[in-house]
Amino acid sequence: MAGNRPKKHSLTLNGHRTSVSLEDEFWRAFRKIAEAESVPLNQLAARIDIERGSDTGLAGAIRLYVLRYFQGRD
Model confidence pLDDT, tens digit, residues 18-66: 999 999 999 999 999 999 999 999 999 999 999 998 888 999 999 999 9
Q: Is the model more confident about 3 or about 70?
A: 70
Q: How many domains does one find in the chain?
A: 1
Residue 43 included in any domain: yes
- Structural domain of residue 31, as residue ranges? 21-71
Residue 50 included in any domain: yes
Residue 1 included in any domain: no
Position 37 scores a pLDDT of: 95
Give the confidence band of 3 by pLDDT, cuts at 50, 70, 90: low
Residue 15 included in any domain: no
Position 54 scores a pLDDT of: 85
Position 66 scores a pLDDT of: 97
Position 73 scores a pLDDT of: 67
Task: Give the whole-angstrom CA distance, residue 56 versus residue 48.
Answer: 11
Residue 4 included in any domain: no
Residue 41 included in any domain: yes
Amino acid at site 41: L
**pTM for this model (two decimals):** 0.88
71 by Cβ neighbours in 10 Å (0-12 / 13-18 / 19+) ranks as: exposed
Task: Give the whole-angstrom CA distance, residue 74 versus residue 72.
Answer: 6
- How crowded is residue 70: how many other Cβ atoms within 10 Å of its Cβ? 12
